[in-house]
A and B are shown apart, each in its own frame.
Chain A
Amino acid sequence: MTLMRMCMPVLVGSLAATACGDSGKGISQPPPPPSGIVLVDSLPIPEFYGIHDQFVRDGLAFVCAWNTGVLIYDVGNGIKGGSPAHPMLVGSVVDSGGEAHNAWWFHNPVTSENRYLFVGQEGPGNIGANSSGDIHVMDVSDLANPREVAHFHRANAGTHNFWMDEANQVLYAAYYNGGVVAIDVSGTLSGDISSRLIDTVSFGAGTTYTWGVQLYNGSVYAIDMVSGLWHLNSSLATPGSSGGGNNEAARYSSDLWVANGYAYTGTWDHFQRTGLAGSLLKVWRLNATGAPVAEDSILVSGVGAVSDVEVSADGKLLMFSTESGPNSGFWFYSLADPAHPTLLDKYPIASGVHTATFATIGGRLYAFGAENPSGAALIILDVTALDQ
């Protein structure tokens, strides 16, 4: 049964925020704890268009900065003496198409190489109809001098968020109106790798426009802006056999994260699909077959989108970012009960946070976020105290 939280003003940080719902039953939010969020750094990013996403691994932050390209910062790796408080630029590369949106640094367990960085180019798109933008493959063997070595192109569709099955050397990419694609990224990558397409799938009876994808427990979960959360077999050739899909019609869906036997998805309501205000964080229980069943939802008023969702590696802390409204920023929820997240704290960013990701560096948990222009910046928060 879907349960939506009742509107309940709560004070978080210095802002009044509201978590709302339609169940008609008031649920008191716990009083906020002493702020467990510490701003560690706000690193300005050139506004060419600014920062869209960041991938943090091994103390390196790969900042996707649109036409500025990918900026590689040492945020604790040590290669340049950087730390979360003092990121140090290691190198940068501009992909051949510009519009660098997202990235994944591939740690290949088969070859023990960390050679390739996959960069998603978000080209022009007509949301719900068509899109453009390729996957660019960077050789980052020399982090100070990365270079593009390969690219993947799909006609009449453009890429969005990635997930990797590193053990099997497969890159899953959400491809907006192209659904989801699986690409063989084993071995040496060079030139046009479009022929490495393994499989692809589109969703729903109507228009496909897929935002994100994640591999979890051997299944692929995909979030489609139009038709909601889908559960696939790892073989994309047999989509839908396990359920899901066509489960969110009132709003457009956005990002997803799957953890603890639950899926957490956002909605994107800039246009308000059916006139409903605010945006949702939806909670889905995965049943015995792995199919999502709606469990709970949290309505965030005063935002146009829940723009990114992630759960910490220990499964205790849920984070989502919001943008396009007065309640924009980072939101943190306890997953003590993973079916019913409870608000811990919020860090407001007036211009909005486009994406956010966790990283553990030096034993502390950090949230990295992309602050929208004007004032584009990589925001780094120490949220260790929230991860209890």
Chain B
Amino acid sequence: MTQCRAGLLVLALGLAGRAEAQRPSVRWGAQAFPALTETNVVPGARSLGEARVLLPVAMLHAAALGGRLRLVATANFEKYTIPHGELAPGNWGESFEDRRHPHTLVHELMLVGGGPHYFVAAGKGFVPFGTDDPMTRPAVLFPVNHHLSQILERAVAMAGLGMRWGSLEGAVFNGDEPISPGSWPAWDRFGDSWALRLTVRPVPGLETQASHAWVHSPENRPGAGPDDRKTSVSARWERGRWYGELEWARTATADGFFVFRSVLGEGALQLPGHRPYVRIERSERPEEERVFASPFRTRRPLFENSILGITRWTIVTAGDAIELRRGMLRYAPFLEASWIGIARVGGGVFDPATFYGREHGASITVGIRLAIGMTMHRMGRYDLTPAEGNTRMTMPMDHGVRSE
């Protein structure tokens, strides 16, 4: 808490003397994706289909002092719509396996201050590490590498320097992952983990980043678990009709006893009225003991550091959405399909052929993206550098919306 207060003090000092009489501004928005997913990559060698409301989010962005002081707030209602997770083969984390976990209700609550050349921020939100949150990227189903490439929902204090060509950000935060959709960070662990991210924008449209984080005991809230050392490198292109990203990530757990790697590439092309996209991913994940009550859940709290193996997921995803508007409401029926391959890495008793009854499968998702108000910001970045694309949403609904 002492470090948290120190962060707020730095924030206040950064703003001192800059109070200009400028009108505050407030923007808001909301979205939800009713969707049906069917897949044959399910524990127990069967198929399963589920209809859920995905990514129900409300956003509020307020700015004052000419934008030198900003509030970024995002509420995520998955606690209510997917309390048992979203069916998503390969997804993992926060005691979920093959289901994406629901995010916490208070997804972001960040106070950001500064100017074009520096910023400070504090609150609950994203750590300056890795790539943008999958929520703001083209595909609906999250990639396997979410817990390798992003660190979020932490009590974080950060500072950054912004230049025309990029930025350098550093942060301290609590290492513990959320333990439920209603949980808050363990405040007594604030400051036990850190991250640095260097972003370079050499030419308009191109953004590259390299980041590194040391995360103390992410999987055990009291702090008894092994630590993660995480690295991410990526290049992102967004200009005109084209969007693309290549990323590589690596997490070494327990002094490198376990290493998980990920390579991901994705792209999207804005066409009149729709925006097809593709994502190709190869990511590794730990296989943990599933609990008796659900083959989609793992044991928490942990009480040992063993896993059953490591699997490598190769997933090719393609989709498209037709973008429409009726009044304030933007809506986009979409179809997304994935081919999924699962392989064992480095031994262990986990055998996907036994557990899933297959080593290759598929999933298909149909649904509709609904949104009103402001477009979603790039979750994971709070710097004030007015770089191109930095405040734009990369979801298809934000480009070339066609009115009926």
Chain B hits for A376, CB < 8 A: 303
A354→B303 contact, CB < 8 A: yes
A66 & B348 in contact (Cβ 8 Å cutoff): no
Contact with A along B299-319 (1 / 0, CB 8 A): 101111111111000000000
Question: What does the 1/0 interface line of B100-114 toward A look like (CB < 8 Å)?
Answer: 000000000000000
Q: Which residues of B contact A (CB under 8 A)?
A: 220, 222-226, 253-254, 257-258, 289-292, 299, 301-310, 346-350, 354-355
Do A127 and B307 form a contact, CB below 8 Å, given A47-B222, A49-B224, A49-B302?
yes
Interface residues on A, range: 35 or more
Q: How far is the CB of A102 from chain B (nearest CB, A)?
A: 12
What's the count of A-B pairs with C-beta under 8 Å? 106
| In the complex with contacts A127-B349, A129-B309, A271-B290 CB distance below 8 A | yes
Chain B residues near A49 (CB-CB < 8 A): 220, 222, 224-225, 301-304
A-B contact pairs, 8 of them (CB 8 A): A52-B303, A52-B304, A128-B347, A130-B346, A226-B349, A270-B289, A302-B292, A326-B292
Q: Which of A124, A354, A373 contacts B253 (CB 8 A)?
A: A124
Determine if B306 and A48 form an interchain contact, defined as CB atoms under 8 angstroms apart: no
The docked-state distance in angstroms from the alpha carbon of A98 to that of B257 is: 16
| Chain A residues within 8 Å of B303, by CB | 49-50, 52, 66, 354, 372-373, 376
Q: Which of B225, B302, B304 has the most CB of A within 10 A?
A: B304
Report the separation of the CA atoms of residues A121 and B277 in the bound assembly, to the nearest whole angstrom.
49
Which residues on the B side are within 8 Å of A48 (C-beta)? 222-224
A98 to B299, CA, bound (A): 21
B348 touches A324 (CB 8 A): no
| A128→B351 CA distance, assembly (Å) | 11
Query: For the complex, what is the distance from the CA of A367 to the CA of B267, rounded to whole Å?
Result: 61
Residues of A within 8 A of B347 (CB): 126, 128-130, 207
Chain B residues whose C-beta falls within 8 Å of the C-beta of A47 in the assembled complex: 222, 224, 301
CA distance A127 to B226 in the complex (A): 17
Render A310-343 as a binary contact track against B, CB cut-off 8 A, 1 for contact: 0000000000000011100000000000000000
Report Cα–Cα, A252/B308, bound state, in Å: 12
Question: Cβ of A345 < 8 Å from any Cβ of B?
Answer: no
Q: How far is the CA of A374 from the CA of B257 in the complex (A)?
A: 26
A98, closest chain B residue (CB): B224
Q: Say whether chain A's binding surface is mostly helix, strand, loop, or mixed.
A: loop
**Considering residues A99, A252, A271, A373, which has the most beta carbons from chain B within 10 angstroms of its beta carbon?**
A271
Given contacts A49-B303, A273-B349, contact A128 B309 (CB under 8 A): yes
B304 near A122 (CB under 8 angstroms)? Answer: yes
Complex Cα spacing A207 to B355, Å: 19
Rounded to whole angstroms, the CA-CA distance of A49 and B302 in the bound complex is 7
Q: Write out the residue numbers on chain A whose beta carbons fall within 8 Å of the beta carbon of B225.
A: 49
A274 at the interface (CB under 8 A from B): yes
A67 beta carbon closer than 8 Å to chain B: yes
Contact between B307 and A123, CB atoms less than 8 A apart? no
- A129 and B346 contacting across the interface, CB-CB below 8 Å: yes
A348 is an interface residue with CB less than 8 A from chain B: no
Assuming the contacts A126-B348, A127-B348, A127-B349, asked whether A99 and B289 have C-beta atoms less than 8 A apart, the reply is no
Docked complex: A45-65 residues within 8 A CB-CB of B: 46-50, 52
| Alpha-carbon distance A276/B289, docked complex (angstroms) | 15
- Contact assessment for B291 and A324 in the assembled complex, using a CB-CB cutoff below 8 Å: yes
Nearest-neighbor residue (CB-CB) of A51 within chain B: B303
CA distance A128 to B349 in the complex (A): 5
B290 CB contact (under 8 Å) in A270, A372, A373: A270
A127-B309 in contact (CB<8A): yes
For A326, the closest partner residue in chain B by CB is B292
CA A129 to CA B303, docked complex, whole Å? 20
- A129 with B354: CB separation less than 8 A: no
- Is A265's CB within 8 Å of the partner chain B? no
Give the residues from 111 to 133 in chain A that come closer than 8 angstroms, CB to CB, to chain B: 122-132
- Inter-chain contact A271/B306, CB cutoff 8 Å: no
Q: A66-B224, A207-B347 are in contact. Are A124 and B257 (CB under 8 A)?
A: yes
Whether, in the assembled complex, A378 has its beta carbon less than 8 Å from a beta carbon of chain B, the answer is no
Q: Is residue A304 contacting chain B, with contact meaning CB distance below 8 A?
A: yes
Q: State whether A273 and B354 are in contact (beta carbons under 8 Å apart), knowing that A128-B348, A132-B257 are contacts in the complex.
A: yes
B92 to chain A, nearest CB (A): 15
A30 within 8 A of B: no
Q: A127-B306, A325-B292 are in contact. List 19 more A-B contacts (CB 8 A).
A: A48-B223, A48-B224, A49-B224, A49-B303, A98-B224, A101-B304, A124-B226, A124-B305, A124-B307, A127-B307, A127-B308, A128-B309, A128-B347, A128-B349, A129-B348, A271-B289, A304-B289, A354-B303, A372-B303
CA distance A99 to B254 in the complex (A): 12
Interface positions, chain A 237-294, Cβ under 8 Å from B, are: 252, 270-275
CA separation between A210 and B304, bound complex, in Å? 17
- B166 to chain A minimum Cβ distance, whole angstroms, is 37
Q: Which of A101, A126, A326 makes the CB contact (< 8 A) with B307?
A: A126
